[in-house]
Amino acid sequence: MLKAYKYRIYPTKEQEESFFQHFGACRFVYNWALENKIKSYEQNDKSVSRFTLNKMITELKEEHTWLKDVNSQSLQGATLNLETAFTKFFREKKGFPNFKSKKNPVQSFSVPQFYEVDFDNNKVKLPKIGWIKTKLHRKFKGIEKTATLSRTPTGKYYISILVDDEQETPVKSLFNEKVTVGIDIGIKDFAILSNGKKIDNPKYLKTSIQRLHVLQRRMSRKQKGSKNRAKARNAVSKLHEKISNQRNDFQHKLSSKLIGENQALALETLNVSGMLKNHCLALHIADASWSSFVTKLEYKAEWFGKTILRIGQFEPSTKICNVCGYHNKNLTLADREWQCPDCKTNHDRDVNAAINIKKSALNKQNLIGI
């Protein structure tokens, strides 16, 4: 299986300059490759392959000699990233690749090979840069693949190493109704389980929103290009980073707990991008970051041989009585509890939805009652 290990690195000033040189060169090659692909398609109705672009980089170095100071494997990694972006565009409809800007607060470049990791001395060696002080807080075993070095908006540097641990993906565990849990994600409560348990939504962004507004107003009053504006921008970035770290920590702990306690998890497919167009709820939906949580559940389920079951986004899980199947068409978002007119069962809106999600997912697997 492939797993990524992320470590913080502490470069010297000279190494930082080399990082920025790599960031700029890889960004330049990416934009150059994207321009070539667009022109080739417009003129010949054909796209230039990544391998052709890699051969053209040699000629590009003669024109721009400063590219020779950068690791050649990193430059080829830029064309690979572009190829991946086009694949997502055609297969997953993720949006046409955009040109990269040096104003982007997050910069990165990849090192496909020829790097070394020294756990004993807490150092990582990168080609053209040398040994860099690194906080190697955990060891890994396996074949080292691509390493990606990145810089955050707050000026911190990280290296993410992709490792093949040479282990086969675990066989999916058998599951039935007793070891399956339905999960309804929401805003008031972050997650509601089919067993009736509710996980509070910490709402980290809402907690820090007033402080964030203060820092943003301070930044807007500073003169553009000044050092004070840079300091104010860094303060805003630090708060955003803190919120992101809090959210990720919460989601990692919750997802690990749910994966460890159940053999299968039933989820509802949500159109998050469409829901974000609701201006009344967009802030709360973005704060919850449902897509990120589902992604964590999916890859952790693959690691531990668990199963993720999905139901369609148009199934009315909230409005159907989980006892008799009555469809309450008049239920609104304000109704948190309701009574079924047929069987007189009192329902908690979210718990009822979680139970229906579980039943619907198991029904598709022909596992109801097993």
What are the boundaries of each domain within the chain? 2-164, 180-202+248-364
Higher pLDDT, 317 or 107: 107
- Which one is catalytic: 62, 83, 168, 268? 268
pLDDT in tens, 4-19: 999 999 999 999 999 9
- Which one is catalytic: 164, 168, 287, 350? 350
- Averaged pLDDT of the chain: 91
- Rounded mean pLDDT, 285-311: 93
Interior/surface letters 291-327, b for 16+ CB within 10 angstroms, e for the rest: eebbebbbebbbeeebbbbbbeeeeebbbbbbeeeee
136 phi and psi angles, rounded to 5 deg = -85, 80
pLDDT in tens, 193-235: 999 899 999 999 999 999 999 999 999 999 999 999 999 999 9
- Which one is catalytic: 45, 69, 144, 184? 184
348 is known as an active-site residue: no
Task: Report whether pLDDT(50) > 80.
Answer: yes
- Rounded mean pLDDT, 62-86: 93
Which CATH number does the domain 180-202+248-364 belong to among 3.30.450, 3.30.420, 3.90.320, 1.10.8? Answer: 3.30.420
350 is known as an active-site residue: yes
pLDDT in tens, 84-107: 999 989 888 778 999 999 988 899
Query: 24 is written with which tokens?
Result: 């700029």
268 is known as an active-site residue: yes
Q: How many CB atoms lie within 10 A of CB 279?
A: 7
